[in-house]
Structures are given as C-alpha cells and as structure tokens.
Amino acid sequence: AQTVTQSQPEMSVQEAETVTLSCTYDTSENNYYLFWYKQPPSRQMILVIRQEAYKQQNATENRFSVNFQKAAKSFSLKISDSQLGDTAMYFCAFIFNAGGTSYGKLTFGQGTILTVHP
Amino acid sequence: NAGVMQNPRHLVRRRGQEARLRCSPMKGHSHVYWYRQLPEEGLKFMVYLQKENIIDESGMPKERFSAEFPKEGPSILRIQQVVRGDSAAYFCASSPPIGVEQYFGPGTRLTVT
C-alpha cells in the first residue's frame, strides 16, 4: 500500500518570502505521479502542480516548483514570493498506474496549513 | 465547460436518517471518485466508479454506505442510518477516460445532529 507523509502540520511565512513544504511517500511502484493540491478556506481542492515519476526534471508552475528526489521518495513544494492568497491547507498526493489508461485513487498526506503574514 | 458539480453543498441529518449526496462529473468525464475529509485531516479515498460499474470500493465502510453511477444522471453516494461519526466533507472528483488528473467538486458538508 502507498503512504504519503507530511511532517509539518503548520508553517508560516512572511509575504514575498520563500517557503518549502515537505512530503515523503512510500511505494514499490515505478509508474506514478505526485501532486500538490491547495485547499483554501472555501474548501475547494485546487491542483497546484504535478510531477511524473519518470521525469527527472522538476516541475515548475510560475511561483511554485518542486524538488523531486525519487530515490529518497521525497517531493517538496517551494513557493516563491509568497502572497496572502497562498494561505491555505496544502496536500501532497500520490497516484499510480495499475494498468491501462486509468489511474484509480489518489492517496493524500495529512496536510500542512500554510499562513502567509503581511 | 462547467466544473464538477456537487449538491447539496450543506446537508444536515438527524441520527438514523439517510443522506444522499450527488455528483455530476465534468462533461466528457466517465470516471468518478468519492473522498471523505474528516475535520483537520486529509482526504481519504472511498470509491471509484465508471458508468454503471464500481471499479474500486476498497475505501468504503462495509455497512451503511453505497455508491452508484448510473448510465444517465449523477453519481450518488448514499449513507443509511447516519451516525455522528459520518459528519465530514465529502468530495467528488472526475477524470476523463484517458488521463491522470482528477478534478474536484466543491464538496458536500454533512452534519449529523
């Protein structure tokens, strides 16, 4: 079974600064994806960034980037130039291809509450 | 293209009543997933359905919970004889026939009094 662990229950950062959220996972699979989701107070789940396990290059989306260390099974999220709107719960998630073109369930970590201070 | 729709957004039920949660996937999406989020926790997978088929129900409690995704109409998550421990946010997600990303609805917050 796959597990995803986020060891930081809460983090805080000053506006315009950089913050890194940690995530580790455990799997014996080779073909999988990793995601970071954001859940603001509205509770809507918003996809922030995704990483394919077979790609060595780290994914980047504007101010969001990841540090994917496959051998260490680590997948951290870096938020640069933090903005007040980044305040939210952040979830790391894992999905693997069990065969065919469908992927099945997402396995989520426990979440990290990020607060951006003005 | 409208996003994933869930209704109701809020549902209050007394202990012992039935709760029905509906999910309409995005247009063209034939895969539906249900997740439950207890307070201060992450989302936990419940069930994965394709049209008229349950593909994976490994996360569903053995009793009182059922899900369906009929040929026509929304997917339904049904909870019979609700108990206080069922109080949670229930999220539906959908994905196209080919693709890895799941698109989430706004969730239904169930409160059992």
Residues 22 to 51 of B: which have CB under 8 A from any A CB? 31, 33, 35, 41-45, 48, 50
Using CA atoms, how far apart are residues B46 and B18, in angstroms rounded to an integer? 18
| Over residues A51-60, mean pLDDT | 92
Do B45 and A110 make contact, defined as CB atoms within 8 angstroms?
no
Nearest CB to A109: which of B35, B42, B107?
B42
One digit per residue, the tens of pLDDT, for chain B of length 113 reads 579 999 999 999 999 999 999 999 999 899 999 999 998 788 999 999 998 999 999 999 999 999 999 999 999 999 999 999 999 999 999 998 888 889 999 999 999 99
Using CA atoms, how far apart are residues B91 and B59, in angstroms rounded to an integer? 14
The beta strands (E) that lie in A58-105 are given as 60-61, 64-69, 74-79, 88-96
**Up-side HSE of residue A102: CA atoms within 13 Å toward CB?**
16
Using CA atoms, how far apart are residues B51 and A28, in angstroms rounded to an integer? 30
List chain A residues with CB under 8 Å of B42: 91, 108-111
Q: Which chain B residue has its CA at the smallest distance from A103's CA?
A: B100
pLDDT digit string, tens, across residues A1-51: 789 999 999 999 999 999 999 999 999 888 899 999 999 998 899 999 999
Do A43 and B107 make contact, defined as CB atoms within 8 angstroms?
yes
3-state secondary structure of A85: helix
Q: Closest by alpha carbon to B89, among A89, A101, A118, A28?
A: A89
Cα distances (Å, whole numbers) of residue B78 to A4, B23, B61: 28, 11, 12
Using CA atoms, how far apart are residues A4 and A32, in angstroms rounded to an integer? 13
Among B90, B102, B110, which would you mutate to test the A interface (most chain A Cβ atoms within 10 Å of its Cβ)? Answer: B102
The shortest C-alpha distance from A95 to chain B (Å) reads: 8
